[in-house]
Every structure is written in structure tokens, then in C-alpha cells.
Amino acid sequence: MPLSDPPRATPSDPSPDGTAPAAAPPGQQVPGPHGPAGHVLDAPAWSALSGAHRHLAIGNELVLRYPEDVSPFVGVRDWDHPEVWEALMDVFGHDATVSVSHAEPELPAGWRTEFSLPGVQLVQTDALAPRPDEEAVELGAANSAEMQALVARTKPGPFLPRTHEMGRYVGIRRDGALIAMAGERLHPDGWTEISAVAVDEAHRRQGLASRLVLDVAFHIQQRGDRALLHAAAANTSAIAGYEKLGFALRRRLTFGAVRTP
């Protein structure tokens, strides 16, 4: 079915101090077909799959997903639409796992929660000083196996055989071995998510993660986008590191998945 209507995103959570979430840059407010306007970062998977990643999208006018070997993330145009659960069943079928990260929908009868993990969304501020890294090398399809191996050792989040197709990935090598990496994942309109930030345990506390984040952010900025990050709320050391680089909390959210009947 054609994607004829613009998305509607859910409202942002307030910051911990009670202030409103960061305002959208010009052009980033998304009109909602079934309610008030929302920000693209409230529904980044939908914005990416109906925009920059449309060539990877599988689904219908209400639900879009990535191929199974690219990413588990799912974009939903409007969780309040009366046909959204049927649209999810149409895309995933019975007894399937569906990512509901960035949303906490009320489940109909027969659906059940697979997992739920508190998280945070961070966005760049003017304090961020992106810069290219001379040691960073670009990674692609030929490097998929070693990228997955590094992710398996460090567990920064899901990284599948074709995740590298979502954007630019870079790494640092020592004696030929890939020991650190970072790259681009979701591409909501006007923004790019930095993800898969991973450093082998034997090479930590050398500033490699920060260097790669700044390199990825530099190339994001060169395209005219702004950088964002997601992290588990419990990963306070990583969050503190990102804040030191120049990222700030935009909203608290939930990473999760549900199972279809």
C-alpha cells in the first residue's frame, strides 16, 4: 500500500528536571494525520524507513520494518490508528517478535511483552566538536564477519550481517585486527543515529570510542544532519562519556519487543 500520509509521533517525555524536551530544528516538525504534530525523534524508525531508508523498507502504509538481517527496528506510523494491530500482523504474522522500541503501546488480547528495557535518547549540543580521525578506516560488506565478532564480544546492541548497509561504519585496527568500531544506524529526517560503538576489552580506556564517535559525527555534520545516540539507562558510564563529548538528554524511553498471537 502507498505511503501517502505523513507520520504521527508520540509526544516526548520531559527531561528529569521537568523542562520541556529539546525543540525541533526548523523543518523537523512532522504533521500527524490523526493527532497533534510530533518530532521525528519520537518515532525515528518510522521516519527513517519512510524516508532515507525507504529502499530497505518492508511493510504497508502503517507498519514498516527492516529485512531480518539488517535491523530488528520497526516503524509504526500511528500507534493509535484503529488498524495498526492488523497491520502489524500483516507484516509479521503469528508468533513473531516485534520491536516496539521508542513506544509503550497498550497490547490487545493475545499479545505479550517479550522484554522491556529503560533507555535514553541523547542529541548533540553546540558543545560537540566533531572531527575526522586519521586512524579510522571505513568498513563495509567485506568486514561484516569481523564487525559481528567485535559486537559479540562487546555487546553494544544488535548488529546483524547487513547492518552496515544502514550507513557509514568506521573502525580502528591494531596489528590488522579490528579492535574498535562505530557507525550510523537510524536516519530520521535531518538526523543520524550513532550506534554500534564498540571497543575490545583489551584496548579500552584509550579514548578510542570517543575518537570514533567524533569521526562519525563529523561526517554526519558534513551532510547537514545532526547526531543522536541511544543508550540503556543503566549504562551510566557510557552516558556520562557521551555527555562529556557534547551530547545531552532529550528524552527517556523504553527499548522493548512484543510477541504476536
Q: What is the DSSP letter of 96?
A: -
pLDDT band at residue 38, thresholds of 50, 70 and 90?
A: low
The residue written with cell numbers 500483516 in the block is: 90
- What whole-number distance in Å separates Cα of residue 125 and Cα of residue 164? 26
Q: How far apart are CA 133 and CA 235, in angstroms?
A: 25
Q: SS in 3 state form for 8-58?
A: CCCCCCCCCCCCCCCCCCCCCEECCCCCCCEEHHHCHHHHHHCCCCHHHCE
Q: Which residues of 97-110 are buried (b: 16+ CB within 10 A; e: fewer)?
A: ebbbbbbebeeeee
CA neighbor of 123 nearest in space, from 11, 224, 23, 204: 23
pLDDT bracket for residue 1 (50, 70, 90): very low
Asked if residue 5 has pLDDT above 50, the reply is: no
Coil, helix or strand at residue 146: helix
Give the pLDDT of residue 19: 32
pLDDT at position 48 is 98
Q: Crossing angle of helices 208-222/236-245, nearest 10°?
A: 50
**Residue 259: pLDDT over 50:** yes
What would the mean pLDDT of 206-219 be, rounded to a whole number? Answer: 98
> Within 70-200, where are the H helices?
84-92, 144-154
Q: Determine the pLDDT at residue 97.
A: 97
pLDDT over 80 (residue 23)? no
- Report pLDDT for 106: 94
Q: Measured between alpha carbons, how far is 77 from 259 in angstroms, rounded to an integer? A: 19
Least Cα distance to 76 among 89, 67, 92, 87 occurs for: 87
Which pLDDT does position 17 carry in this prediction? 32
Q: Residue 77 and residue 96: Cα distance in Å, rounded?
A: 20
For residue 196, the surrounding DSSP H or E stretch is strand 191-199
pTM for this predicted structure: 0.85
**What CATH number belongs to 123-253?**
3.40.630.30
Tell me which residue of 14, 61, 69, 6 sits closest to 36, measured CA to CA: 6
Residue-level pLDDT at 96: 98
* Lowest mean pLDDT, pick from 21-25, 112-116, 173-177: 21-25
Stretch 100-117: mean pLDDT: 95
Q: Nearest to residue 40, comparing CAs of 201, 186, 148? A: 186
Coil, helix or strand at residue 209: helix
